[in-house]
Amino acid sequence: MEESVKASEGLLEQIRRSFDCPGQDVRTYSPLTLAYIGDAVYELVLRTAVVDQGNRPVNELNRRVTRLVKAPAQALMAEALLPSLTEEEEEVYRRGRNAKSYTSAKNATRGEYHKATGLEALFGYLYLTDRMERVLELIRRGLEAAGLAQEK
């Protein structure tokens, strides 16, 4: 019985259970904290998709993913997805986009960097509220709408 319960849990719940994490009210997290975890979620999804397309040299895998995790690509995705976000999602995106960051992206404009941070904050929020299906849907739709799907 224990194994079937574990198998039906999502990754977030497995992590919380394994590391005895109580979980927090996600609404109290700063937008940059949400972007921090959202960046990792986004990269994990892309790395998984690229690796699942077949065994390749690591430098080729990295090259494919790197193009998609850069701020300009994420900014294109954010622009493409914005009209389809719910009110709640748009608010999280906006908070992330408007957050005061003390770092900047290489090879990106300030605007692209802020849009990418907003998108990452949204992915982080959705992940921490156990809505991974929505994260996957948005990533897939964003890549397609921004013309980036063929690059992965």
pLDDT, one tens digit per residue, over 96-125 is: 999 988 777 778 999 999 999 999 999 999
In a domain, 15, yes or no: no
In a domain, 10, yes or no: no
> What is the domain-level CATH number for residue 138?
1.10.1520.10
* Sequence-separated (6 or more) residues with CB below 8 Å from residue 138: 81, 122, 123, 126
Mean pLDDT over 25-38 rounds to 95
In a domain, 114, yes or no: yes
In a domain, 17, yes or no: no
Query: How many structural domains compose the chain?
Result: 1
In a domain, 24, yes or no: no
39 catalytic, yes or no? yes
In a domain, 19, yes or no: no
CB-based contact 74:148 (threshold 8 Å): no
In a domain, 22, yes or no: no
Given a cut of 50, whether residue 1 has pLDDT beyond it is: no
CB-based contact 37:135 (threshold 8 Å): no
In a domain, 5, yes or no: no
pLDDT band at 150 (very low <50, low <70, confident <90, very high): low
Q: 50-104: per-residue pLDDT in tens?
A: 999 889 999 999 998 998 999 999 999 999 999 999 999 999 999 999 998 877 7
C-alpha 134/C-alpha 25 separation (Å) is 19
* Catalytic residue chosen out of the listed positions 25, 39, 52, 130: 39
Residue ranges making up the domain that contains 48: 29-151
The residue with greater pLDDT, 145 or 30, is: 30
For position 4, what pLDDT does the model report? 46
Alpha helices in the chain (DSSP H): 2-8, 11-18, 31-51, 58-69, 71-81, 87-98, 110-128, 132-145
